[in-house]
Amino acid sequence: MDKIVAMRAFTTVVSEGSFVKAADKLELSPQLISKYVAQLEDDLKIRLLNRTTRRVNLTEAGQAYFDRCHQVLMDIDDMENAISNLHTQVSGTLRISAPMSFGVYHLSDPIEKFQTQFPEIKVELFLTDRKVDILEEGVDIALRIGHLKDSALVAKKITPINLSVCAAPSYWDKHGRPTSFDELCQLNYLRFSYSDPRSLFIRWPKHLSVHDFRSDFASNNGDVIVKTAVLGRGYAIQPTFLTGSAIANGELEILENFPIEPLGLYALYSHREFLASKVRHFIDFLSGFYGDEPYWDNY
C-alpha cells in the first residue's frame, strides 16, 4: 500500500464528508477509497472513522490522526512545489566553467545581460583552460571549445569558432606570403602548446609532420601568442575571438589560402531530462547572443 496515497484518501473522506464525494474528487472508485482507509485502520490497529449510511464521523483517534495527516500532506505538497519551482523558475546560483581567454573577452557582456533579464540568478564563473569535471566539481555548465568527442555528458553547440592563419603585415612583407604548406612550414610558427596544427587544416599533406614546423616560441596562452604575432615575431593560428580586433585595426592580416575547419563553442551539462530552468535558459540565451555568425567575426 502507498501510505501517502492512503493518507490522502483518508483526509479527503474527512474533508468531503463521504466516501462517494472523496472518490469523485480524487477520481477513484468509492470501493478503492474504502479499501485505502480500511488498510490504514488495519495497519494502525485502531478505528479512524465511524461509518453510517449518510455520513462518516471521526473517532477520537481518527481526529488526532487526521490533524497529523493533514500537516504531513501539506509539508509534502510544499516540498514538491519548492522543488518544482527550482525546475521552472529562472533563479538560484548558476555555476559556469569557461576557457580563460574566451571568458575574459566574451562572457562578461552576455552574463550581465542575462542577469538583468533574470534578476533572481546569481552567477559563479570559473575561468580555466583545464577540463573541469562538472559532476565532481559541482559545475552546472562547462563551456568548451573544440571538436567534442563522445562523452557521458550532454553537449549543445552554441556558436562556431573560426580560426585563421595570421601575422603582422610587416612579417608577410619581410618573409613573403606562402602558397603551399611546405612554404608555410619554413616560416616561424608561434605555437599553441595544446594543439597540433596539422589537425586544424582541412587539407594537410601527409608528407609533412609536426616536426616540419619551424618554431622558436610556444605558449599555453592564446593572448600571448596573438600579441607576439602583432609584434612581428611570426605567424599564429588562433581563434578569431582573440584575433578579430587586431585584424580589424590592421595589426594582423589573414593568410586566406589556408582554410581551417571551424571549431565550436559547446555547452556541456550532465542531464538532458529534468534540466534545471536556469541552465536551459542560459544556454538558449548564449545561443541567441552569439548566433551563427558571432560578432567578433565582423572585421
Each residue of 174-218: pLDDT tens digit? 999 999 999 999 999 999 988 888 888 888 888 888 888 999 999
The set of long-range contacts for 102-106, using a CB threshold of 8 Å and a minimum separation of 24, is 102/143, 102/145, 102/239, 102/241, 102/265, 103/127, 103/143, 105/241, 105/242, 106/241, 106/296
Question: Is 16's pLDDT higher than 60?
Answer: yes
Nearest to 38 by CA among 6, 60, 79, 16: 6
Each residue of 92-128: pLDDT tens digit? 899 999 999 999 999 999 999 999 999 999 999 999 9
Nearest to 49 by CA among 38, 37, 61, 57: 57
Same domain, 182 and 243: yes
pLDDT at 289: 97
Domain limits for position 23:
3-77
Total Cβ atoms within 10 A of residue 108: 11
Rama region for 29: left / alpha / beta (φ>0; ψ in -120 to 50; rest): beta
In a domain, 227, yes or no: yes
Q: Across residues 170-176, what is the average pLDDT?
A: 96
pLDDT at 147: 80
77, 102, 136: which is the final residue of a domain? 77
Each residue of 56-94: pLDDT tens digit? 888 888 898 888 887 888 778 767 766 655 555 788 899
CATH code of residue 240: 3.40.190.10
Rg (CA), the chain: 32
CATH code of residue 9: 1.10.10.10
In a domain, 240, yes or no: yes
In a domain, 298, yes or no: no
Q: For the chain, what percent of residues have pLDDT higher than 90?
A: 47
Q: How many domains does the chain have?
A: 3
In a domain, 299, yes or no: no
Same domain, 98 and 46: no
In a domain, 86, yes or no: no
Same domain, 96 and 236: no
pLDDT at 79: 74
Same domain, 267 and 157: yes
pTM: 0.68
